[in-house]
Amino acid sequence: MTDPYETLREWMVETQIHSRGIRDPRVLAAMRKVPRHEFVSFSQGSSPYSDGPLPIGKGQTISQPYIVAYMTELLELRGVETVLELGTGCGYQTAVLAEIAAQVYTVEVIEVLALDAEAILKRMRYDNISYKIGNGRNGWEEYSPYDRIMLTAAPAQFPKNLFDQLLEGGIAVAPVGDYFQRIVRYRKEKGKIKEETLIGVSFVPFV
């Protein structure tokens, strides 16, 4: 059966993502494949494929498609990595990561969002995602260390304890700041953290 949303996803990728400089073929393929409409309804008054964030309830949002692709590309995934995602939200970013990474461990503090996202992702038959309800500031030590860590909400400062759960040579990506936020990429090299401050963004706070 033809996917009626395939054209919308292709339009989204070409006009919002590829045209803005995202080039990683794995990221582009994931963005073309994951059905964003499964995670946010058309009834919000805007298309799930529109160029912007949308509310998902409980004061949280689903990031605009470009930001999802941008942050995913910054992780430099090659398909063999374990990824810790802190902030499952509706599960869309989780699905994009799961399309590329070997295993995704995702943590969400808001129980209703965590359970809804898990139900959607299991219905979509992702078998490389593990789920936890809890405070993302603690990470998920049981399965650490991770090749990659992504925060999907903004702390005023990156929680330093999470670097202990990052493998040597690993990468962490997060929006960081209070009123003025920027995406920051961290690399763990020889036990030290090197950071790279990138584009300005607006995320909900990391609680």
- Please confirm, yes or no, whether 130 is among the known catalytic residues: no
DSSP 163: G
**Residue 39: other Cβ atoms inside 10 A:** 23
Contact status, residue 106 vs residue 131, Cβ threshold 8 Å? yes
What is the Cα–Cα distance from 7 to 79, expressed in whole angstroms? 26
Of 19, 47, 63, 144, catalytic:
63
Are 20 and 66 in contact, with CB atoms under 8 Å apart? Answer: yes
By CB atoms closer than 10 A (0-12, 13-18, 19+), residue 76 is middle
Positions annotated as catalytic residues are 63
